[in-house]
Structure 1
């Protein structure tokens, strides 16, 4: 499963403008996150990319984009870490960003080690600019995202049925309580959640007009 920018933005909390900006290098600093599947049209993100993007969005709430880029450059160039960005726990602290490891953390801006007692769960829901960004693995009560199921495509929980297909049926005029005629086992509540999530993804494009930094 690959995620087009609109869905990647909706699941991560980033705006479309931020995704575009973060794909590019800035001065001497490298790109923050280049899409793993395709970095040219059509732009396609992976599930790991979405996890990393959520981490960047949460960091951006606490610190500057310049510091985030610097921290990632330190991670790559100075520490030689080459795993996907989603593999690392990055935590914002006073005037710095830490790479959290068991028992301690590396200061990626000032150098040195410290002890961190609490880590941010990048999968959990949060607010950004007053907008609710849902839980990545369960964006709605009856909608689930699991990288092992259809590659991470949002599906009706407990099934492999794409939530987008259920939403399309309802939008085409099928009442939520009749969706089970087409997809046995999909309740009316699940169908309504699929539509609600689809509406959220579609409306999220409006957020792309917000400021990038």
Structure 2
């Protein structure tokens, strides 16, 4: 499963403008996150990319993009860490960003040595950004799930391999939620409504007004 920018934005909480900005290197700093599936059109993100993007959104709420780029350059160039960004536990504060280990954390910006970190952010959990709730990554709605082992991570009806987008499309074509069982016997009306609600949420990331306001 690959995630087009709109779905990657909806699942991560980033705006489309941020995704574009974070893909690019600057004259002095590297890119924040380059999609591992395709960095040129069509741009395609992986499940690991979406996990990393959620972390980036959390960091950006606490610190500047300049410090994020500096921290990532330290991680990659000074510490020679080149695993996918989702493999690292990074914690941001107003002053710096730490690479966290179980019992200590390495300062990636101020370079003051090892510091103890007591609280970690769960990047998979739901959170609020710009007045809207970014859903739990693995359960974006009560009856929906995202599992990289099921259809590559495409949002599906919980307990099935049925894509949420296909169920939502039937409702958009006028099929009542109570009649969705005629097409997919394992899908309840409540699950169909969740599929439609989540699809509308994803589609909201196409709205230019929202992108401008949330950037």
The answer to whether residue 55 in structure 2 is matched with residue 52 in structure 1 is: no
Extract unaligned runs of 5+ from structure 2.
none
Alpha-carbon displacement from aligned partner over 1:47-75 (angstroms, at most 9, x marks no partner): 00000000000000000000011111110
The answer to whether residue 200 in structure 2 is matched with residue 199 in structure 1 is: yes
Extract unaligned runs of 5+ from structure 1.
none
Give the structure 2 partner of residue 78 of structure 1: 78
Q: Aligned pair in 2 of structure 1 residues 171, 65: CA closer, same or farther (>3 Å)? A: same
Give the structure 2 partner of residue 132 of structure 1: 133
- Deviation larger for 202-211 or 12-21: 202-211
Alpha-carbon displacement from aligned partner over 1:68-108 (angstroms, at most 9, x marks no partner): 11111110000000100000011012400001111000000
Output the CA distance in 1 between the equivalents of 2:71 and 2:181: 49
Aligned pairs, how many? 212
Output the CA distance in 2 between the equivalents of 1:86 and 1:174: 39
Q: Secondary structure at the match of 1:106?
A: strand
Output the CA distance in 2 between the equivalents of 1:15 and 1:192: 25
Higher relative contact order (CA 8 A, sep 6+): 1
Please report the TM-score for the alignment, with normalisation by the length of structure 2: 0.97
Output the CA distance in 1 between the equivalents of 2:142 and 2:103: 35
- Following superposition, the deviation at residue 129 of structure 1 comes to 1.4
Post-superposition, which runs of at least 4 consecutive aligned residues in structure 1 deviate over 3 A?
A: none
Give the structure 2 partner of residue 40 of structure 1: 40
Output the CA distance in 2 between the equivalents of 1:126 and 1:171: 28
Q: Secondary structure at the match of 1:210?
A: helix
CA RMSD between the two structures: 0.9
Output the CA distance in 2 between the equivalents of 1:211 and 1:172: 31
Q: Secondary structure at the match of 1:95?
A: coil
Give the structure 2 partner of residue 101 of structure 1: 101
